[in-house]
Amino acid sequence: MASNSSSSSDDNAPVRVGILGCGHVGSALIELLGERARAIETASGVRLEAGAVAVRSISKDRGIELDESLLTTDAEAVVADPSIDVVVEVIGGIEPARSLVLAALKSGKPVVTANKELLASVGSELYAAAEANGVDLLFEAAAAGAIPIIRPLRESLLAEDVRSIIGIVNGTTNYILTRMAEDGATYADALGEAQRLGYAERDPTADVEGFDAGAKTAIMASIAFGANVVAGDVYREGISTITSKDIESAERFGYVIKLLAIASVFDAGTDEEEIGVRVYPAMVPVSHPLASVRDSFNAVFVEGAASGELMFYGRGAGGQPTASAVLGDLVDAASNLQRGAFRPVPSGPRPSIRAIDDLESAYFLNITVGDSPGVLSEVAGVFAENGISIRAMQQDDTPESEASVAFITHQGRESDIQATLSRLKEHDAVKSINSVIRVIES
């Protein structure tokens, strides 16, 4: 039903795609490519055709219809094959992905990748190689799966003064936290359920300790702020310490707990900027758009000086949704290749990273104190001495000899909060510090 673009014609030569890797995403991509090829040609004039698929094992059953003559175990040969026009990298990991992507770019072939680990460690090298060779390197699927966030940041918001990005970019942890909040599940039970459903790996470290979200934070910060932010720059805390009691406390104060990926830019003097990047669980007000992002859904909340608040929501993982994002990039790369155009990645030099100690946040704290007269005043005094002011306080039901007290602070520097915590730990009246969770203000 769409118009033919000016470049479309019957003797239109196909753009042949070399696909490196044929796991969940690769096989979903091959299926989708078959289903959508005609519609894509009608809409864009681009004829896409799978030209070769590099796999580890030829004989493995992938559950899809696939011309076996396309399969090879030699990924380097796929990249070098002169009949291959565009390369899709869905192997994952750093090597051999890095060498293969570089080889493709250097031979003038656009690359589409879904590999967050690769981009969050050596993205800068790859962006430079793409620019030097005048070809596209596209990676929509690497940040938030099917959700268009990289393209809006690279194009729609290129002129916008983006001040901060707050994302829920890991579906596994969001599923776990949703089950804990909505079904009263413990962390262990919710993790077990996520594993049974295939949302979590048998070793869930990469998800629950925030490594996956950290890599995505580095990629989004690089594009949004035009700076080379790497995974190692991202301060990181996971969700494995979050208890059912924390979830209940959050609810009582009007919050939900989410694992957030946050990137912000700060003015640091004349023409100087610092970037803060961190992943941690935080309490989000129930009225915040991110609070209603449930189950394994992802969302990225962007704050721009002129655009105001924006949010992009959808499926952050899964074979089909990820393949959908890869295919969108593939059409763009092929179309640009045909007209000799490309779009440089708006990344840049290494930025100044603001250390976690110098970042500000509000905090929720739950501490157990001896139940004697004047103890709350003493505890409050410790906050005040360290420049942290208290916004809300609530005392729980606890055994007679002690009291569990929840505090929510105003914004304060991490180092001041840490100093407060050190003093509280030493304090005679303080029996234990049970929880320290950051709080996002609406």
Q: Which is nearer to its own copies, 248 or 273 (CB)?
A: 273
Q: Which is nearer to its own copies, 305 or 401 (CB)?
A: 305
Interatomic CA distance for residues 394 and 396, integer angstroms: 7
Q: Which is nearer to its own copies, 5 or 418 (CB)?
A: 5
Q: Which is nearer to its own copies, 7 or 241 (CB)?
A: 7
Q: Provide the minimum distance between the beta carbon of 181 and its own copies in the complex, in angstroms, as a whole number.
A: 13
Interatomic CA distance for residues 279 and 301, integer angstroms: 14
Q: Which is nearer to its own copies, 149 or 180 (CB)?
A: 149
Q: Provide the minimum distance between the beta carbon of 332 and its own copies in the complex, in angstroms, as a whole number.
A: 6
Q: Which is nearer to its own copies, 2 or 64 (CB)?
A: 2
**Length of the chain measured in residues:** 442
Q: Which is nearer to its own copies, 89 or 371 (CB)?
A: 89
422 token code pair: 């050190």
- Known active-site residue 258: no
Q: Provide the minimum distance between the beta carbon of 441 and its own copies in the complex, in angstroms, as a whole number.
A: 17
Q: Provide the minimum distance between the beta carbon of 89 and its own copies in the complex, in angstroms, as a whole number.
A: 18
- Is 282 within 8 Å of 440 (Cβ atoms)? yes
Residue of 109, 116, 216, 258 marked active site = 216
Q: Provide the minimum distance between the beta carbon of 203 and its own copies in the complex, in angstroms, as a whole number.
A: 27
Q: Which is nearer to its own copies, 340 or 374 (CB)?
A: 340
**271 dihedral zone (left: phi>0; alpha: psi -120 to 50; beta):** left
370 token code pair: 């001896």
First to last CA, the chain: 44
Q: Provide the minimum distance between the beta carbon of 138 and its own copies in the complex, in angstroms, as a whole number.
A: 10
Q: Provide the minimum distance between the beta carbon of 17 and its own copies in the complex, in angstroms, as a whole number.
A: 12
Q: Provide the minimum distance between the beta carbon of 16 and its own copies in the complex, in angstroms, as a whole number.
A: 16
In SS3 terms, the chain reads as CCCCCCCCCCCCCCEEEEEECCCHHHHHHHHHHHHHHHHHHHHHCCCEEEEEEECCCCCCCCCCCCCHHHEECCHHHHHHCCCCCEEEECCCCCCCHHHHHHHHHHCCCCEEECCHHHHHHHHHHHHHHHHHCCCCEECCHHHHCCCCCHHHHHHHCCCCCEEEEEEECCHHHHHHHHHHHHHCCCHHHHHHHHHHCCCCCCCCHHHHCCHHHHHHHHHHHHHHHCCCCCHHHCEECCCCCCCHHHHHHHHHCCEEEEEEEEEEEEECCCCCEEEEEEEEEEEEECCCHHHHCCCCEEEEEEEECCCEEEEEEEECCCHHHHHHHHHHHHHHHHHHHHCCCCCCCCCCCCCEECCHHHCEEEEEEEEEEECCCCHHHHHHHHHHHCCCCEEEEEECCCCCCEEEEEEEECCEEHHHHHHHHHHHHHCCCEEEEEEEEEECCC
Active-site residue list: 216
